[in-house]
Structure formats: C-alpha cells, structure tokens
Amino acid sequence: MARRPPEVFPYLPIPVQEVTLLIEILNGTHETVSYRSMSGVRAYINTDAEDFPLHWHTALEIIHPVENEYRVKTNGNTVTFYPGDILLLPPGELHALYAPAEGKRLILQFDYSLFSGLSGMDFLLHAMRPCLLVRSGEAPDMAAGLSRILHEITAEYTGDDPFREPAVRSLLLRFFVLLGRSVVTDAGRLSRLSPSRQQEYIEKFIAVCDHINSHCTEPLEIGQLARMAGFSRYHFSRLFKQFTGLSCHEYVISRRLSHAERLLLSPDLSVTEAAMQSGFHSISTFNRIFREKNGCTPSSYRSLNRGMLLGNRQEAEAPLPAGTKNTARKAP
C-alpha cells in the first residue's frame, strides 16, 4: 500500500525532551522502565539510530513515529510502520527494535496495572497480543483521534500544572476507550450481540485467556476451557476464534512459544529443558513449530539473540571517548 505524504497528517508540536537512548536499564532481556517524572508513566521523543535486540518489560509501550518509519519484531514477525501509525506492545512481549539512520518517534510507556481493574481493560490487553498496529491509511479517523490524545498527554506530561498526573491518566483512559470500542467491533467481533451480552462474553473470555496465560505450561483441554466459560465445545471453539482471532489451540501454542523464547535466552537451560518447561512434550514437535514461527531452529535463535545481547553488553561496557557523557545505565 502506498504511503501518504507526511504533510497530509497534521502533527502538533511535541514539547517532550528528546532522548537518544531508548533503553536505560537492561538486565539480560529484561528492561526496567524508569518512571522519573511521573508515577507509572514515561513519555519522550526517541531519536536513536541504533537497533535494540530482543527484550521485554512489564510496561505497556506505545510507539508513534513522527519522522521516518520504524520497525518492530515480535512473535517472529517484523512490522514496519510510518508517521501517523501507532503501535502498541503489551507487557511481557519479547520484541526487537530497528531504527532508520534518521528519525523521531514518540515513545509512551506506562504501568498497565493502573487500569487493569477496570471493566474491559483486561480484554483489551489480550486483544493487543503480540502487538496491535493502528495504520493511518486504513483507519484514518481513529489514528488521528488517538494521535491527538497522545499529543495532549505529552503536553500535560511536560507541564507544571499540579493536576498534570490525573490529567495524563484521564487522557490515557480516553485513549483506550477509543481503541477498545474499535477493537470490540473490529471485523464484526461480537458486534451482533447486545451490549449486555457483549460484556458478559468479554468477561468470560477474559477469564479463559487469563487462565491460559497463567497455566500455558500445563496440560490444557478445550473441553475443560469450554466448561469454564459455560459453552459447549463447538460453541466455545467458534466464539474463541471470533473473540481472539486465533483458534484456542493456536492461542495456547503462541503463549507456550513466547514462554520458550524467554527461557532460551537463559544460559542455564538446554533447548530440551526450555521446551519441556514451556509445555511441549515432544522436542521434534517443538522444533517444527518454533521453526515455522521464527524461521530458525531454537538453537539458532538462542545463539543469534545471545550473541546480540553480548555484543550490546560489550559495547555498553567499552570506554567512552574523552569528553563524552554516558547517559545510559546498564545492569551489570
């Protein structure tokens, strides 16, 4: 699809301090997000031209390119997005970042647990996995609305109003209400149901997804999950795919693979141990499914990404040229 000229999408000024470093605290693959200016929220403009290897964090991350494109790899797929687009990465998802030689993007990270107790928010979190991309060329009104809210958030974030923190949280809620209403009705998902029945089904499938996420390394039977939701096996299978976009089996496998990807980056576990601890009982099945998703064997994945992490670590520990300030803080 041809991209629209950047000037067609009107950007508001972003009064956020430019930060060249995207990751400040990295221990292995785990990034610890530092919330300095506001409790549970961090917003900044990133201009870093460097790539970042696979990592994850407990914060939800929103990336909104301002100048030039940006690329993110997650769940074995690489997504390229452009000014006007908005990408959301839920907590706990392994992802790598690839930047152009020049560019700017607005980065917003925040503690999703601030809103996780609100009705509908857990459903939205599941709908984002492994990532959710809003393209301005496909949903221009929604992309423009979400972009305006992000710019309002950055204005409040950098201001000195005594109520800026509640203002930012209220704007974040507006952002996710707009996004969530679109996600629920996307492709007719549950749209034929009455609002009360929609809410009932959302709550049931949120509970099922929560159970799968918490127990994905254990044996899971579709019949058991169907009984948990109060549906027949056939009705459950149809509604689950309508709700998540995946069959129940595909969803379970995706969660097990995500778990295995994290374990593979640990030097203390063999490939077989990582597979078995992730719920796979056949190493040949694990190797086949892993290769189908990632395009490489588990051993190659481990070697590649551990090598990237080691190179990143060595580069961070290298002495800086005289007169250069080190703004990064890496865990030993």
Pairing between β-strand 26-27 and β-strand 30-31 as defined by DSSP bridges: antiparallel
pLDDT of 52 > 80? The answer is yes
Asked if residue 182 and residue 214 are part of one domain, the reply reads: no
Q: How many CB atoms lie within 10 A of CB 6?
A: 15
Asked if residue 143 and residue 284 are part of one domain, the reply reads: no
Asked if residue 21 and residue 153 are part of one domain, the reply reads: yes
Asked if residue 286 and residue 157 are part of one domain, the reply reads: no
> What was the pLDDT predicted at 305?
65
Residue 1 is assigned to a structural domain of this protein:
no
pLDDT of 314 > 70? The answer is no
**Residue 135 DSSP symbol:** -
Asked if residue 65 and residue 105 are part of one domain, the reply reads: yes
Q: Name the percent of the chain lying above pLDDT 70.
A: 81
> What was the pLDDT predicted at 213?
85
Asked if residue 175 and residue 65 are part of one domain, the reply reads: yes
Pick from 62-76, 167-181, 275-289, 294-308: least confident: 294-308
Residue 121 is assigned to a structural domain of this protein:
yes
Asked if residue 202 and residue 116 are part of one domain, the reply reads: no
Q: With bands split at pLDDT 50, 70 and 90, how would you rate the model's confidence at 10?
A: very low
Asked if residue 295 and residue 153 are part of one domain, the reply reads: no
Over the Cα atoms of the chain, what is R_g?
21
pLDDT single digits (tens) 21-32: 567 777 777 788
Segment 293-321 mean pLDDT: 60
Pairing between β-strand 41-46 and β-strand 18-19 as defined by DSSP bridges: parallel
Asked if residue 303 and residue 226 are part of one domain, the reply reads: yes
Residue 277 is assigned to a structural domain of this protein:
yes
Q: With bands split at pLDDT 50, 70 and 90, how would you rate the model's confidence at 185?
A: low
Asked if residue 217 and residue 112 are part of one domain, the reply reads: no
Pick from 65-74, 220-229, 288-297: least confident: 288-297
Asked if residue 242 and residue 259 are part of one domain, the reply reads: yes
pLDDT of 318 > 50? The answer is no
Two tokens, residue 25: 């605290």
Last residue of a domain, one of 164, 188, 212: 188
pLDDT single digits (tens) 110-144: 998 888 767 777 778 878 888 999 999 999 999 99
Asked if residue 146 and residue 23 are part of one domain, the reply reads: yes
CATH of residue 289: 1.10.10.60
Q: How many domains does the chain have?
A: 2
CATH of residue 172: 2.60.120.280
> What was the pLDDT predicted at 79?
95
pLDDT of 189 > 80? The answer is no
Per-residue exposure over 168-201, b if at least 16 CB sit within 10 Å of its own CB, e if not: bbebbebbbebbbeebbeeeebbeeeeeeebbeb
Segment 160-175 mean pLDDT: 96
- List the domain range (segments joined by +) for residue 204: 195-309
Mean pLDDT value across the chain: 81
Segment 34-54 mean pLDDT: 89
Please give the Cα distance from 92 to 327 (Å, whole number): 25
pLDDT single digits (tens) 238-266: 999 888 778 999 989 988 998 898 898 88
> What was the pLDDT predicted at 24?
73
Segment 1-26 mean pLDDT: 50
Positive/negative CA dihedral, 314, 94, 265, 97? negative
